[in-house]
Each structure stands twice: as C-alpha cells, then as structure tokens.
Amino acid sequence: MNFLHTMVRVKDLDASLKFYCDLLGLVEIKRKESEKGRFTLVFLAAPGQLEQAKETFSPTIELTYNWDTEDYTGGRNFGHLAFAVDNIYSLCEKIQRAGVTINRPPRCGHMAFIQSPDGISIELLQKDEPLPPQEPWLSMPNTGSW
C-alpha cells in the first residue's frame, strides 16, 4: 500500500495557491479542469519530493475547487497536514508577515501550527533537531485552535 494524496476542498483557488505555493513553497505539478463537472483539481508537492510526485503523483495535496458556490465546514476529525521545514522560525516569520496567524507558535523550536485560508490545520515541524528557543516565539501565546 502507498499513500497517494490528501484532498482539500477550497473556496478561493487563488488564495489557496498563494498560501500553499507562495508561503509554504509547495509546487503545482498537475491541474485538471472539468467544464462538465464544474471543478478544478490542482495537485501540489513539496520541493523535496518533487521528482517522486511528478512520476507517481504521490505524495501530493489535491486542492479541489468547485466552481459553484458552496460553504465548507471543517471538522476536527480531518486532523491536519504536516510538513518538515528547513527553518521553522524563518518560515513562521514569512507567514506572519503575510498576515497569517500563527495559532501555535514554535516556542520549542520544533513545532508550530497555522491554518490555510479554508481553516485546514497545518503542522510545521523543524527538520532534524529543534532550533534553540528564541523570541518572539518563546513568549508568544497560542491563538485560536488548530
């Protein structure tokens, strides 16, 4: 058995692509538009797994944008997406500068949580060893839920 992808329904495809690609650094590897089905599928991969994803389309995140307006309510039963990152502090700083709330700051130098424009929880984990704790993250409180 192989893990293939996680599908996330998105309300605003442009905002979601900005978040996942511009802020998190994922790369679009495939797009399918269906006029008859009235939807767009966009498959994204992490840069470190790009070659594998281009060959097998896994592991990927499938953003599903339904053209007709529909409100999606998230359930905590979904859980979250998780990514290993090169420098959790610099990524959280970039994300915060873009106006995204850091729901669980990386106080320990190892883990943080943010949310996508559609309220999907994203866990960021420092690759290898945790970074030494530092401000402003060390004294930053949690915000909201994840």
Which residue from 106, 18, 26 is spatially nearest to 61, judged by alpha carbons? Answer: 26
Residue 123: active-site member: yes
**Same domain, yes or no: 50 and 84:** no
CA 119 to chain centre: 10
Establish if 23 belongs to a structural domain: yes
Q: In the prediction, which pLDDT does 3 show?
A: 80
- Say which CATH number the domain at 93 has: 3.10.180.10
**Same domain, yes or no: 23 and 60:** yes
Establish if 73 belongs to a structural domain: no
Distance separating alpha carbons of residues 137 and 92, to the nearest angstrom? 9
Tens digits of residue pLDDT in 19-31 = 999 999 999 999 9
Three-state DSSP state, 61: strand
Q: In the prediction, which pLDDT does 38 show?
A: 94
User: Is the pTM value of this prediction over 0.95?
Assistant: no
Active-site residue, from 55, 93, 123, 129: 123
- Which residues form the domain of 34? 5-66
**Residues 6+ away with beta carbon under 8 Å from 55:** none
Residue ranges with strand state E in the chain: 5-9, 27-34, 39-45, 60-66, 80-85, 102-104, 111-115, 121-126
Establish if 26 belongs to a structural domain: yes
Q: In the prediction, which pLDDT does 1 show?
A: 63
**Same domain, yes or no: 45 and 91:** no
66, 95, 114 - which closes a domain: 66
Q: In the prediction, which pLDDT does 116 show?
A: 93
Establish if 21 belongs to a structural domain: yes
State which residues of the chain have pLDDT below 50. Answer: none
**What are phi and psi for residue 88, nearest 5 degrees?**
-65, -35
Q: Where are the alpha helices (DSSP H) in 77-117?
A: 88-97
Establish if 11 belongs to a structural domain: yes
Domain count, the chain: 2
Distance separating alpha carbons of residues 102 and 115, to the nearest angstrom? 8
Distance separating alpha carbons of residues 146 and 129, to the nearest angstrom? 23
Check: CB of residue 118 under 8 Å from CB of residue 74: yes
Q: In the prediction, which pLDDT does 2 show?
A: 79
18, 39, 66 - which closes a domain: 66
Distance separating alpha carbons of residues 114 and 104, to the nearest angstrom? 7
Establish if 25 belongs to a structural domain: yes
Tens digits of residue pLDDT in 2-15 = 788 999 989 999 99
Q: In the prediction, which pLDDT does 72 show?
A: 72
